[in-house]
Amino acid sequence: MKSSRTIPLLSTAFVGVAFSCVVAGNAFAHSRSGGGSHAGLDIPEISHGEMAVISDYRSGIIDLASQAVDTNERFRRVLNYAEIQYSYCLWGRMPGSVTDEESPFNQCAHAYLAATKAVLFSMREMPRESAAAGEIISAVDADMVRRGLALVTCRFSGEAFNTADVVKPHWSKVPLHPASMASLTGLAALFGVGFYALRRLLRPEAQSSE
């Protein structure tokens, strides 16, 4: 009896996610916001190989940058952009967002990791942060050589970014990417089961006894 109720619930969650992705994709037909304005600060591109390594050091880079005291406006704006892009890319939690070129989240991952790289290299010029930033850069370089990622590229590798131009995931492509679809469907199912359980819990005892 319990399983017969759960199956329709999961099916509804799956359909709901697929429908939401298509609607979101139509609403954001272009992956960038604001009509592609470039009034902000330019951020150099990042290669596919660099992404895979920078992502491993991202939390350390952002922590170091957040503690920096002697900063300028450019540094703060790029750091802010890196964190905004990270949230738009669902905090890097989608499977394959960094490594899979076909992921609907790969381009937005390029954006936040390119900004993270720019923040790291900016700290190399700061008196207090230069030593720590230099150590991270050396570790990144060593990892890239060790993992043979120096020459790995993808179609987004030559793309520069701009702080005035937020890059959103390609929502309309989520249903076509099994890993992303499975992850979002699982999340929707989890919320659905939680909502169903909460409803049962809040039902009057008189109704539940019937």
pLDDT for 46 equals 92
The verdict on pTM exceeding 0.85 is no
**Better-scored residue on pLDDT, 195 or 49:** 49
Residue in 25, 163, 159 with CA at minimum distance from that of residue 83: 163
Has residue 13 got a pLDDT over 90?
no
Mean pLDDT (the chain) is 80
Q: Which residues contact 168 (CB under 8 A, 6 or more apart)?
A: 28, 31, 32, 33, 88, 108
Has residue 128 got a pLDDT over 90?
yes
Compute the distance between CA of residue 163 and CA of residue 78 in angstroms, rounded to an integer.
Answer: 7
pLDDT for 7 equals 42
**Span 46-54, mean pLDDT?**
90
pLDDT digits (tens, 9 = 90+) for 71-107: 999 999 999 999 999 999 999 999 999 989 899 999 9
Residue type, position 95, single letter = P
Encoding tokens for residue 37?
């304005």
pLDDT digits (tens, 9 = 90+) for 151-195: 777 777 788 999 999 999 999 999 998 888 887 777 777 777 777
Proportion of the chain above pLDDT 70, given as a percent: 77
| CA contacts within 13 A on the Cβ side of 91 | 1
Q: 91: alpha, beta or left, given left = phi > 0 and alpha = psi -120 to 50?
A: left
Has residue 18 got a pLDDT over 70?
no
pLDDT for 1 equals 45
* Distance between start and end Cα atoms, the chain: 16
- For 64, counting Cβ atoms within 10 Å of its Cβ (0-12 exposed, 13-18 middle, 19+ buried), the class is buried
